[in-house]
Structure 1
Amino acid sequence: MKMVSVTDTGRVRSVNEDRAVIQHDVGGYSLAIVADGMGGHQAGDVASQMTIDIIREELKSLSSSMTVEECKLAVKEAIRSTNRKVFEYASAREELQGMGTTVVVLLASGQLAILGHIGDSRAYKISGPSILRLTEDHSLVNELLKNGQLTPDEAERHPRRNVLTRALGTEPDAQPDVQHLSLESGDILLLCSDGLSGLVDDQTILSIVRGESELEAMAQSLLQAALDAGGDDNITIILASGDSGPASGGDPA
């Protein structure tokens, strides 16, 4: 599984509170994580970095002999355990109280991928001429959209579109969404913070990815599109493909 990542502070923010990591050979899987931190006084980058570090540690015990359901449970429990540790750490430090982060976790091997997420960082699958959003935003605006109280156009412009209904580290317990999916030859998985998805629509993402032949070029073109659209948030992108050559990556972005 080849994976690449890019991250950028953007054109407005002074600190990058996003974190990303790629790690290969985690119990026979390739692991990718994107976390978008939030909180004043740089607490957001503390939350996102802790989340990346703890989830990696929690998943070290994965084994290639585990079933898909066991791996899904491991991802769920890794996220919930991380949530407890981040919440307890922040609760004991006045300057960090209220900090939190989104997270999206990918385990991928061959034709199988397992995804876990909390918040509004997203995962997509790009397959042939189509793009499929794999995650559902845990946000106020998405709840209003599902209930028919907003149209898609209204949701895009809503002043509270960044308000989350679920995040990691803000409550004693958290309930991540976890799923598994099958991959076919040529499929590309995209993980991103809302610095990309909040400024670049799904169809534009699809056309950019399909306009490039290499993952590195796709990632740089997506990053540039978000910057060109204003770059008003931190931007983080991970792309993964099962048949794009030898594995690459490894260090936190």
Structure 2
Amino acid sequence: MTATQEHPTFASGTAGDDPAMAKHGMTLTLRVWRQKGPQHKGKMVTYQVEDISPDMSFLEMLDVLNEKLILAGDDPVVFDHDCREGICGSCGLMINGIAHGPEQTTTCQLHMRKFKDGDTIDIEPWRATAFPVIKDLSVNRQALDRIIQAGGYISAPTGTAPEAHSILVSKKDSDAAFDAATCIGCGACVAACPNASSMLFTSAKVTHLNLLPQGQPERDDRVVNMIAQQDREGFGGCTNIGECSAACPKGISMETISRLNHDLLGALRAGARPKS
């Protein structure tokens, strides 16, 4: 790791706060990965923040840091976020070497009460060849979108919605499909995997369609094309270590990977081949 650069201490109060007001909250040392762009070398830069409330989310704590950096005339730390409700999957950070931090949730739903006053926190972007750094903590995760696109569409009639009981689905299959469909595409599985494999993500996207009647016409083509695209994107191979499922904020099981392997073997035996 490169040498760190020291920066001043920042507090979460405003410039007009009464200096005699008693301080509440935590003082933290942040070691943040700073990188100007994909072609630049990055380094860890050290900051201190004060008066951090335990009720803040991790992203709100970064907002405090950025507000003070801007007021000091420095560039704010770039990081990915959107809904901040644990739904969209946009946020994603390596926090002390753990994808999304010390709790199995999204970064936006991680609260500062998981840390202690005086802690040092290392904050880095997702580390994977397929996720090139855009700037600082922000990475390009379009590779996951291209895997989904490779799966194509499902053959479904248009028009009015069908009657709810016209297509029967067993509870076991529907439950498994819904569990797989909870994947929000955050990429934590890739970041947590020592091989930078996207198998948990790909298997979730394959499984939730392949278990339902609407997904059957394209079932074989879907799985071979998505696996082929996954390989083209440069993701590593799966060796069933299990870090992906442990880091997944939605708790998606490695059983989905077993389902994908089963579907892939069946598709290859049936003669399905990926598009060139």
Output the TM-score relative to the length of structure 2: 0.22
* Structure in which a larger fraction of residues adopt strand: 1
Higher RCO structure, 1 or 2 (CA under 8 Å, sep 6+):
1
| Structure possessing the higher radius of gyration over alpha carbons | 2
